[in-house]
Amino acid sequence: MVEITKDRALEIITPFYDLFRSDKRDWEKGFDSLHDDWVSRDGNGPNAFRTKDQTKEYLGNFFKMIPDINVKNLDVFVNGEWIIVRSELTGTPAGDQFLGEPVTGKPFHIMALDMNRVDENGKLVELYHCENWAIAIMQVRGAWE
């Protein structure tokens, strides 16, 4: 099992989380931090996941929908080979629709919880993540401040 320090954990995760910082995004560094067999699991079923290549395409579209997206990591915890991150995502949707809702020009800010598993070479190999997109939709609608 991999044991890492908090400082090392921050080194490992920063390039990936920078993908979600519109002013620091570096596609090459972000995806180089991921193992070739990396998977992203978002809770859509026990066997549902996106591969590294599928995630590149998905995030390209996602960042068009929220061009000013920003992540702020609030807490980082390390437990063996796992790096757990509690963060805040903010952004203002652009275009015509945001998650099936009309774009209103209003921003959102939501909490995200991530569990990142790291291999012995410091590559991210698996991500479990949960974001509160229902609250984001309500904020964009103006129904939740």
Confidence band (pLDDT; 50, 70, 90) for 145? low
pLDDT at residue 1 tops 70 = no
Task: State pLDDT tens for residues 35-84.
Answer: 999 999 987 767 789 999 999 999 999 999 999 999 999 999 999 999 99
**Nearest Cα residue to 114 out of 97, 89, 135:** 89
Q: Number of helices and strands (H, E) in the chain?
A: 4, 8
Task: State pLDDT tens for residues 108-128.
Answer: 999 999 999 999 999 999 999
Token pair in block for residue 35: 């193992």
pTM flag (> 0.85): yes
Q: What's the CA gap between 117 and 137, in Å, rounded?
A: 29
Starting at the edge strand found earlier in the chain, the sheet holding 124-131 runs 50-51, 34-41, 124-131, 108-118, 82-91, 70-79
- pLDDT recorded at residue 115: 97
Q: What is the mean pLDDT of the chain?
A: 93
Cβ-contact 59, 97 below 8 angstroms: no
- pLDDT recorded at residue 74: 97
